[in-house]
Chains A and B, each alone.
Chain A
Amino acid sequence: MDKIEKSSLRTGFLLMLACTIFTSSGQMFWKAGALRINFSDPFSFFNAPFILGCLLYIVGSILMILALKKGELSMLYPIIATSYVWVSILAPFFFPNESMNVWKWAGVLLILFSVILLGWSSSRVAKMQRDLP
Chain B
Amino acid sequence: MIALFIIFLILVGVLSGSMAVILLKKAASKYPLRQLFFRRIFWEGVVLFGLSLLLYVIILQREELSVVYPLSSISYLITTLLSVKYLGEKMSVWKWVALGGVMLGVTLIAIGS
User: Is B109 in contact with A107, judged by CB distance below 8 angstroms?
Assistant: yes
* Min CB–CB distance B60 → chain A (angstroms): 12
User: Is B111 in contact with A103, judged by CB distance below 8 angstroms?
Assistant: yes
- Among residues 4 to 37 in chain A, which have CB atoms less than 8 Å away from a CB atom of chain B? none
CA distance A111 to B100 in the complex (A): 10
**A101 interface residue per 8 A CB criterion:** yes
Count of chain B residues with a beta carbon within 8 Å of a chain A beta carbon: 37
On whether A118 and B92 interact (CB within 8 A), knowing A107-B105, A107-B106, the answer reads no
**Secondary structure dominating the interface of A:** helix
B66-109 interface mask toward A, CB cutoff 8 Å, 1 = contact, 0 = none?
A: 00000001001001100110010111101101111110111111
Specify which of A64, A108, A125 is in contact with B109 (CB 8 Å cutoff): A108
**A77 interface residue per 8 A CB criterion:** yes
User: Is A110 in contact with B91, judged by CB distance below 8 angstroms?
Assistant: no
**B36 interface residue per 8 A CB criterion:** yes
**B55 interface residue per 8 A CB criterion:** no
Count of chain A residues with a beta carbon within 8 Å of a chain B beta carbon: 39
User: Is B105 in contact with A121, judged by CB distance below 8 angstroms?
Assistant: no
Among A88, A113, A114, A117, max chain B CB count under 10 A is at A114
On whether A81 and B89 interact (CB within 8 A), knowing A65-B24, A74-B95, A125-B95, the answer reads no
User: Is B98 in contact with A114, judged by CB distance below 8 angstroms?
Assistant: yes
User: Is B36 in contact with A115, judged by CB distance below 8 angstroms?
Assistant: no
Specify which of A69, A113, A122, A129 is in contact with B28 (CB 8 Å cutoff): A69
User: Is A74 in contact with B89, judged by CB distance below 8 angstroms?
Assistant: yes
CA distance A121 to B101 in the complex (A): 13
On whether A81 and B106 interact (CB within 8 A), knowing A74-B80, A121-B98, A125-B91, the answer reads yes
The interface of chain B, by Cβ under 8 A from chain A, is 21-22, 24-25, 28-29, 33, 36, 73, 76, 79-80, 83-84, 87, 89-92, 94-95, 97-102, 104-113
Q: List 6 A-B contacts (CB under 8 A).
A: A77-B76, A78-B98, A81-B76, A102-B112, A118-B98, A124-B94
